[in-house]
Structure 1
């Protein structure tokens, strides 16, 4: 069960005061898509990096090839413009800064910026562990676990580790899916490159040990039976 003690009304939505961390701010090694729209098609094509033939042919490699990677200082390198620093900016702020930089070269250009490296990794006791790309500006913890098929019967809902990198520092925190206060926590919302690891229950380790002992017992029993039959037959002869 999730949040078993939550005091929710059965007649109306119960408000939850959530400590929303705000819009994500770009960091080094993020990848953003920059699309330039102008009346001059040739100019637009010059600034746009295109690979493949559309969304249906999407694959993780195309993200790197068709996007702009932030270097260690948070710069992207635009044609003609050169380095533009977007470190620590929201997507909207980065879009405005790039728009300002390109306005020197293009008149009446519309700039569209998207974060295309928003991915999370879900490991441990979930039905479908792996890496998942998020096609939205935000995702919650429950949505992330839902993408991985939810926890298995051996998943410890009181011990889910969130590993997060921010400002080039790595940190972790333990989350309790049975605690309703998680819904109002800033960690309820995931960020790009977050890793969720669902710890196994102790009962699984116990069952695994018992299964191993059972297999050993069966092997030993089979060998003993075979030896007993062998010596019985030899004595009869």
Structure 2
């Protein structure tokens, strides 16, 4: 009976172990190969250029030596909102209140200039299109600045923190997104990270492997605005999450050992 109890406990412990190969990033090095820390891995030959889409929000600002010209493009209270929210650390979310939303047809509407279609354009091309519109309206020089509200993405599944995050940069990698989301859970299938990415007229689902060094040269190494990242759980997740799995296994082992002990005592008294 004692040997049987030990055997059951060993099987239980072995089944609950998670191999390092299942949680280590950027693996697939040949055996016995000396890691070259200076190895150069070029980015994939995919132009990193986000294309504006309907329902995106862009921030447009104007500057001129003649302040009366730019005053016509400033909504009442916008400057105060920007100053107050930046002071409160609102970050990219302030563009929701002060920016211009692209409508379903791909247009933004600007004071004096009317509707301008910018969906389907890159940030730089959209800036140039707005600049052309204002140059045709004013004889004086007015400089246009147009930018998106950072890189907003959503994480669901086995992340440290699921939810929507904003990275206030023009470019961010998948590892930047992981770090900002509290890293991936120890019970996540890191070889199956799904990226739900928006394209003109629809979405696509891409699968990437965080174990594979080839990710560094992948076209999905850089995330894009509105990406949704989903990490599947391992099957062992059914026993509990990463925080309480160990406690669950210990409790189960205690009940098992107690049951075996009682069974042995009863059997010995028969």
Q: In the aligned structure 2, how far is the partner of 1:17 from the partner of 1:112? A: 28
Superposition deviation, residue 69 in structure 1: 0.8
Superposition deviation, residue 83 in structure 1: 0.8
Q: Which residue of 2 aligns with 1:146?
A: 179
Q: In the aligned structure 1, how far is the partner of 2:201 from the partner of 2:133? A: 27
Equivalence map 1:62-77=2 (5 Å): 62-77=94-109
Q: Which residue of 2 aligns with 1:137?
A: 170
Q: Which residue of 1 aligns with 2:8?
A: none
Q: Which residue of 2 aligns with 1:15?
A: 41
> Are residues 17 and 67 of structure 1, via their aligned partners in 2, closer, same or farther at CA, if it must alter by over 3 Å?
closer
Mean Cα deviation higher: 37-46 or 8-17: 8-17
Unaligned runs of 5+ in 2: 1-23, 259-270
Q: In the aligned structure 1, how far is the partner of 2:74 from the partner of 2:203? A: 33
Q: In the aligned structure 1, how far is the partner of 2:220 from the partner of 2:43? A: 13
> Are residues 75 and 6 of structure 1, via their aligned partners in 2, closer, same or farther at CA, if it must alter by over 3 Å?
farther
Q: Which residue of 1 aligns with 2:21?
A: none
> Are residues 162 and 109 of structure 1, via their aligned partners in 2, closer, same or farther at CA, if it must alter by over 3 Å?
same
Superposition deviation, residue 207 in structure 1: 4.7
Superposition deviation, residue 146 in structure 1: 1.0
Q: In the aligned structure 2, how far is the partner of 1:58 from the partner of 1:84? A: 31
4+ runs of 1 displaced by more than 6 Å?
none
| 1:57 lines up with 2:97 in the alignment | no
Q: In the aligned structure 2, how far is the partner of 1:84 from the partner of 1:159? A: 41
Task: Choose from 44, 50, 63 the match for 1:24.
Answer: 50
Superposition deviation, residue 194 in structure 1: 0.4
Equivalence map 1:149-188=2 (5 Å): 149-188=182-221
* SS in structure 2 of the partner of residue 151 of structure 1: coil
Q: Which residue of 2 aligns with 1:227?
A: none
> Are residues 95 and 177 of structure 1, via their aligned partners in 2, closer, same or farther at CA, if it must alter by over 3 Å?
same
Contact residue 93 and residue 149 of structure 2 kept, 8 A: no
CA RMSD of the aligned region, Å? 2.6
Mean Cα deviation higher: 61-70 or 90-99: 61-70
Unaligned runs of 5+ in 1: 222-237
The TM-score normalised by the length of structure 2 is 0.72
Q: In the aligned structure 2, how far is the partner of 1:17 from the partner of 1:148? A: 24
Q: Which residue of 1 aligns with 2:129?
A: 97
Superposition deviation, residue 211 in structure 1: 4.3
> Are residues 61 and 148 of structure 1, via their aligned partners in 2, closer, same or farther at CA, if it must alter by over 3 Å?
closer
Q: In the aligned structure 2, how far is the partner of 1:53 from the partner of 1:139? A: 24
Q: In the aligned structure 2, how far is the partner of 1:198 from the partner of 1:205? A: 15
| 1:5 lines up with 2:28 in the alignment | yes
> Are residues 17 and 136 of structure 1, via their aligned partners in 2, closer, same or farther at CA, if it must alter by over 3 Å?
closer
Superposition deviation, residue 159 in structure 1: 1.4
The TM-score normalised by the length of structure 1 is 0.81
